[in-house]
Amino acid sequence: MPHPFSTLSPDSVMSAAESIGIWPAGEPFALNSYENRVLMFRDDDGARWVVKFYRPGRWSDEVIQEEHDFLQELDAADVPVIAPWRDERGQSLHEYQQFRFALYPQCSGQAPELDNPSHLFALGNTLGRLHAVSSKKPFKYRPTLAWESDIADAQARVIASKRLNKHQQRAYHGVVQKILRQLNKHPIASAQMIRTHGDCHLGNVLGRDESFTLVDFDDCMMAPAIQDIWMLLPVGDPSSWRAQLSEIMEGYEEEQSFPHEQLSLIEPLRAYRLIRYTAWLLSRWDDPAFPRGFPWLAESGYWDQHIRQLEQQSLQLEEPIWLA
């Protein structure tokens, strides 16, 4: 059975844009995106646009609309984000044939340089501005990070894939359960949960000089503030990460207090992501873009390597460098 995105041709993309009164001047250019389909085009007036076609069946309309409304709220508060375009009725989520889509003005730029102190300061300041607004109220429809249920869901998807032999299944189950016990030693209080970007890595930060914009809020969720910070910090020489974290903290604290008490959540969040990421790849394997983009997942040695990676992360949970 063909994947739904297989019918999303360049003509379909152009027709979708035209259906809301935007007239592409040429064929769209596909951007690097797997969960959704994201393309860039120029309209008849020379303006550059990015159009996102949402993966069918993933989010409800309410969940997507809450992302859009969050972006509009942030934009109105001068937080550097790209809010979706709205038509004359104020509608930002549109439909064409079987697809839901949104249109964004293109944001150009480069990722910040983590060895540049001024970039780190500016990045921290941007995140502080984000959280100063996002902490004012909760999401109603977006997901909330939860150790137990989210890890259980990921483990079930991996085992159900039947890609692991019996020995690997036992080893995988054992290390995931051990990590889950370790995560449960780090409960996240409801008061720590705020609206977050949710997937704040360098690929989702664009800018020039010392001005950066946060893009792609597709995974925004209720989570602790450190969720938007830890992926920007490399694991390596302690003196290096301490210096980088210090610059981010300084920029962040120009807007609001840095959540120092959440540093203990960095390694638990890393373990959570390691487990969830592989399960996500497996759950999307029927989409031809995934076998092409992640061929190593089908290699015979991948699962032994992944299990060793989880075992090493479990050791890191016992002695996190962030608290050294």
Catalytic option among 44, 69, 153, 216:
216
Catalytic option among 61, 150, 199, 304:
199
Q: What's the burial of 198, exposed, middle or buried (CB within 10 Å: 0-12/13-18/19+)?
A: buried
Nearest to 320 by CA among 272, 281, 266: 266
Whether 199 is catalytic: yes
Consult the annotation and say whether 204 binds a ligand: yes
Nearest to 114 by CA among 208, 243, 249: 243
Nearest to 269 by CA among 159, 171, 182: 182
Burial annotation 152-173 (CB, 10 A radius, 16+ → b, else e): eebbebbeeeebbeeebeebbe
Structure tokens at 260: 């120092």
Structure tokens at 112: 């910040």
- Binding site membership: which residues? 204, 216
- Binding site membership for Mg(2+): which residues? 204, 216
Supply the residues annotated as catalytic: 199, 216
